[in-house]
Amino acid sequence: MNAAALAGEGPQRALEVAGFAGSLRAASFNRSLLRAAVELAPERMTIVIADIAEIPPYNADVEAQGDPEPVAAFKRAIAAADGLLIATPEYNLGVPGVTKNAIDWASRPPRKSVLDGKPVALMGATPGMGGTARGQSQLRQAFVFTNSYAMPQPEVLVRRASELFDTEGRLVDEPTREHVAKFLAAFADWIDRVGERR
Ligand SMILES: Cc1cc2nc3c(=O)[nH]c(=O)nc-3n(C[C@H](O)[C@H](O)[C@H](O)COP(=O)(O)O)c2cc1C
């Protein structure tokens, strides 16, 4: 082993991250935030956006017949990725149904799911002042059961979203862009620390 490798200074590996937005509407701030993350990711990180729009409501009877293709595709995307990035709104101070539903499908079968041991990072945007803090906090509880490694800090809590995105949904607020870039760099480090090697 050479000196650089001994000091942990070897070249940093490329990372693939699966991302999804927990809102189905076309003009979703959270989808826009996820698109901004694709642009702002560190050079070694590629974020591939997964679509959850066609995932049906969780039903164990349907699952027993085999995962519907949108569910299977979602699980494959997570399994193939080094980490999972979620941009979710907050609904009634909690996790929106579509976000939780997608996680519920992905959590199956328990203990052997694609979420087991997966590094996760959460972001959220809201036009209000709460920044999705309570929704994110609730979502973190699910990752205790799925044994996923949700990054504790930094957080991305985007408040007053309507002032930070332009009419095309581009994140134009420079301090927010810088914060998202730092958050994604921290997520790359988090994956290095806790992620399983593929
Ligand atoms: C059913 C419902 C409940 C909501 N509850 C909250 C809430 O608890 N906190 C909050 O900040 N915004 C709440 N909102 C407003 C959302 O933050 C807002 O609709 C946001 O644009 C949704 O995210 P999106 O733009 O990604 O679709 C709620 C919206 C809906 C439709």
Q: Write the residue with the smallest CA distance to atom 22 of ligand 1.
A: 89
pLDDT digits (tens, 9 = 90+) for 67-118: 999 999 999 999 999 999 999 999 999 999 999 999 999 999 999 999 999 9
pTM, whole model, 2 decimals? 0.95
> 25: burial class by Cβ within 10 Å (0-12, 13-18, 19+)?
exposed
Cα-to-centroid distance, 24 and ligand 1 (Å): 12
- 12 pLDDT band (50/70/90 cuts)? confident
Q: Whose CA is nearest to atom 3 of ligand 1?
A: 91
Q: Name the region of 96 (left: φ>0; alpha: ψ -120 to 50; beta: rest).
A: beta
92 CA closest ligand 1 atom index:
8
Best mutation site among 25, 126, 156 for ligand 1 pocket (most ligand atoms within 8 Å of CB)? 126
Q: Which residues, 6 or more positions from 74, have their beta carbon under 8 angstroms from its beta carbon?
A: 20, 50, 52, 55, 102, 105, 106
Q: Which long-range contacts (CB under 8 A, 24 or more apart) does 67-75 make?
A: 67/105, 71/105, 74/20, 74/50, 74/102, 74/105, 74/106, 75/105, 75/106, 75/114
